[in-house]
Amino acid sequence: MHICNYSLLFIPNFLRIPNICCTFAPKLRNSTTMRSIIITGGAGFIGSHVVRLFVNKYPEYRIINVDKLTYAGNLANLRDIEDKPNYRFVKADICDFDTIYRLMQEEQVTGIIHLAAESHVDRSIKDPFTFARTNVMGTLSMLQAAKLYWETLPEKYEGKRFYHISTDEVYGALEMTHPDGIEPPFTTKASSGSQHLAYGDKFFTEDLKYQPHSPYSASKASSDHFVRAFHDTYGLPTIVTNCSNNYGPYQFPEKLIPLFINNIRHRRALPVYGQGLNVRDWLYVEDHARAIDLIFHKGTVAETYNIGGFNEWKNIDIVKVLIRTTDRLLGRKEDEDMNLITYVTDRAGHDMRYAIDSRKLQRELGWEPTLQFEEGIEKTVRWYLDNQAWMDNITSGDYEKYYEEMYRNR
């Protein structure tokens, strides 16, 4: 049964568990000494960093990466750990309830870290159905499978955890009340050394009302509500985190940073939306993975934590940093490629400013980002330049067609 067939007629079929139980007897494993964790979306950008961290840091855990391998999923992101004995990859759709339920039984799963999603706002504007399917119905399928499987166990929810990874975009847009920037109210090691500014007085805090604007953020908001509803209704031990923009190695090159590094390298135009004034908070992806590790183990059930970089940037300023860094690393003249900047029609409904206040996480669990922004950007640019084969492999196929469709005639 596939939960994402749009007909609600399928939903009562969740109750067909006895069949599933008979057909798939769980393998014997000493579950008291081993944690068995499903990480969904582990072949994607953030998921691959989370899988790598868990596989390397916890050899006593069993890590099962469940990924459908959409255009955004790439097993090459995990070459270095694919042969580890505590790692298993399962190609599956999170909407496929039967398969997910069987897998949970077979692997005696005790924890879920749910990252699988459609994640690109521009794609959600063109095709909102796919986002509702994967992000809403897929999350519901994961929740229902976890609930039903864990309820069959004598200890039920004891020692279990369903951790849902979400985005700060669910909070909607903040106003840019200080277009030239002011001194921010908080700072960490990760904040930029040269340009540490806040562009408004307000920040996203965990108690803020959800006001999503794009089909992507609406689908993530909906999935967050389902996760909390499963806690409030059934007692499922859930946690939700909402994170700001991530950057770093292995990001699919439709997103700003890898897209622009690759374009600068090939001296292709850099399509900047509107005037490039939109503000985002940026966090190095490994710092996000570290936060996920900490929250999965030490976070309080039913809580929400915001994760951010304390690091606001206007898009146009990020683009200039990328040009300078890439040109320097390629041995080109300073600012030689500034003329690649091309302003294109703004994204529909483009949120002006996102800025995360993640002091709750700092206060309660002691997490802070570690990598200072300029260091992180340099590390990232260097990685993409050093891994051209990875990039070429991705950009050679359908991606080129998609790129033409998105940016032609804008």
Ligand X SMILES: NC(=O)c1ccc[n+]([C@@H]2O[C@H](COP(=O)([O-])OP(=O)(O)OC[C@H]3O[C@@H](n4cnc5c(N)ncnc54)[C@H](O)[C@@H]3O)[C@@H](O)[C@H]2O)c1
Residues carrying an active site annotation: 168-169, 216
Nearer to ligand X, 157 or 313 (CB): 313
Does 119 sit near ligand X (CB under 6 A)? yes
Nearer to ligand X, 190 or 340 (CB): 190
Q: Say how far apart CA 17 and CA 99 lie, in whole Å.
A: 12
Nearer to ligand X, 66 or 270 (CB): 66
Query: What does the block give as tokens for 326?
Result: 């890439």
Q: Please say whether the beta carbons of 266 and 403 come within 8 A.
A: no
Residue in 44, 248, 249, 376 binding ligand X, rule: CB under 6 A? 44
Nearer to ligand X, 109 or 117 (CB): 117
Does 278 sit near ligand X (CB under 6 A)? no
Give the range of 26-34, 40-48, 267-275, 396-404 binding ligand X by CB under 6 A. Answer: 40-48
Residue 294 phi, psi (nearest 5): -65, -45
What sign for the dihedral angle of Cα 134, 149, 163, 41? negative
Contact set for ligand X, span 317-356 (CB under 6 A): none
Does 281 sit near ligand X (CB under 6 A)? no
Other CB atoms within 10 A of residue 119 CB:
24
Dihedral in degrees, nearest 10, Cα atoms 194, 200, 203, 208: -160
Residue in 20, 38, 63, 94 binding ligand X, rule: CB under 6 A? 94
Q: How many residues bind ligand X (CB under 6 A)?
A: 30
Does 139 sit near ligand X (CB under 6 A)? no
Does 73 sit near ligand X (CB under 6 A)? yes
Query: What does the block give as tokens for 324?
Result: 């300078």
Pairing of strands 36-40, 62-67: parallel
CB of 40 to ligand X, least distance (A): 6
CA 14 to chain centre: 28
Q: Say how far apart CA 336 and CA 152 lie, in whole Å.
A: 63
Contacts of 379 (CB under 8 A, 6+ apart): 248, 284, 371
Does 69 sit near ligand X (CB under 6 A)? yes
Contact set for ligand X, span 172-231 (CB under 6 A): 220
Pairing of strands 304-307, 270-273: unpaired
Residue in 148, 165, 236, 291 binding ligand X, rule: CB under 6 A? 165
**3 state SS for 376-398:** HHHHHHHHHHHCHHHHHHHHCCH
Residue in 139, 214, 245, 263 binding ligand X, rule: CB under 6 A? 245
Residue in 68, 196, 265, 353 binding ligand X, rule: CB under 6 A? 68
Residue in 35, 55, 63, 67 binding ligand X, rule: CB under 6 A? 67
What residue number has its CB nearest to ligand X? Answer: 44
Q: Which parts of this chain interact with ligand X (CB under 6 A)?
A: 40-41, 43-47, 67-70, 72-73, 93-95, 115-119, 134, 138, 165, 167, 220, 243, 245-246, 252
